[in-house]
Amino acid sequence: MQTIKGPAIFLAQFMGDEAPFNSLDSITTWAASLGYKGVQIPSWDGRCIDLQKAAESKTYCDELTGMLAAKGLQITELSTHLQGQLVAVNPAYDLGFDSFAPDAVKGNPKARTEWAVQQLKYAAKASQNLGLNAHATFSGALMWHTVYPWPQRPAGLVEQGFKELGRRWLPILNAFDEVGVDLCYEIHPGEDLHDGVTFEMFLDEVKGHKRANLLYDPSHFVLQALDYKQYIDFYHERIKMFHVKDAEFNPTGKQGVYGGYQSWINRAGRFRSLGDGQVDFKSIFSKLTQYGYDGWAVLEWECCIKDPVQGATEGAPFIASHIIKATEKVFDDFAGTGADEAFNNKILGL
């Protein structure tokens, strides 16, 4: 068994226009002051990192890691959630997702996809230059609008959609394999990879690629009424990243999983700050430790009620209190008799 590393914090939801949230230097000083030991960096935010430069310059990466090390921090992973989303976009969502892309490719889906693929390849090399072994992303979605279909899906649509998704991601997965970095998909409603079954369908299309792995975030499973603890039993060998995020699901006679088009605060399912929701983190940390997960426990703060600074302040000690120092000793060793084949044969009557 291994001891989970942490606490760490994903910076994406905290970046802003006001100090200390408007630069990597100032926001990491703030994070370190709260007790965090690692930061997960959103690669699309130029205030945090120049992704292309990180891919092309080991010196630049060494400067970043050195600056953070002076504060007692490490980079846990880079994230390309927004760029990964753009690897696969159904035309129904073109206008909405154009906002994730640079002006030069907006209104041009083909160019936008090519830009996104290049971003992922930069992320692979940048991760290598930073000495990282895992990377966070989204799969994108070609079929999400058909998840609960009416009219019914045409025969073969799902198979064709996953075939295309695999075709788009396979060269990216190969690029990550070339640099020895795991590509971890956050399994998330809105993505074609949104539960265990869809991840398995994708794995089939990429021939079980060893770099196709998982970012485990239980909050998205609470909102789907999926057994988030058994999920670890099924997929622990592929779980290489962990977002510590809480959620609650309180269905009523008026609404359930789909939320009635309501705002986050009025939905039956909503994200909460750590300890304010329904996720059983004690069981999660136990299972991950049992299965030998040795990555980071990273706070992802998303709450429709609590202030983000309060959420981050409470998050570091919450994660630290749940990290289990993996035992190196079996509890009943004191009563052991050692290995003795002859003695065992006597007990067995042999």
- Tell me what pLDDT residue 339 has: 78
- Tell me what pLDDT residue 332 has: 65
Mean pLDDT of the region 216-220: 98
Mean pLDDT of the region 33-54: 98
CATH architecture of the region 5-348: Alpha-Beta Barrel (3.20)
- Tell me what pLDDT residue 326 has: 86
Cis peptide before 317 (omega within 30 of 0): no
326: tokens are 């993996």
| Domain segments of the chain as ranges | 5-348
Q: How far apart are CA 218 and CA 231, in angstroms?
A: 9
- Tell me what pLDDT residue 261 has: 97
Cis peptide before 7 (omega within 30 of 0): yes
Confidence of residue 296 (pLDDT cuts 50, 70, 90): very high
Q: What's the predicted TM-score (pTM) here?
A: 0.95
- Tell me what pLDDT residue 1 has: 82
Q: Is the pLDDT of residue 328 over 90?
A: no
Q: Is the pLDDT of residue 333 over 70?
A: no
SS3 344: helix
Nearest-5° Cα angle at 73, 33 to 1: 115
Q: How many other C-beta atoms lie within 10 A of the C-beta of residue 155?
A: 8
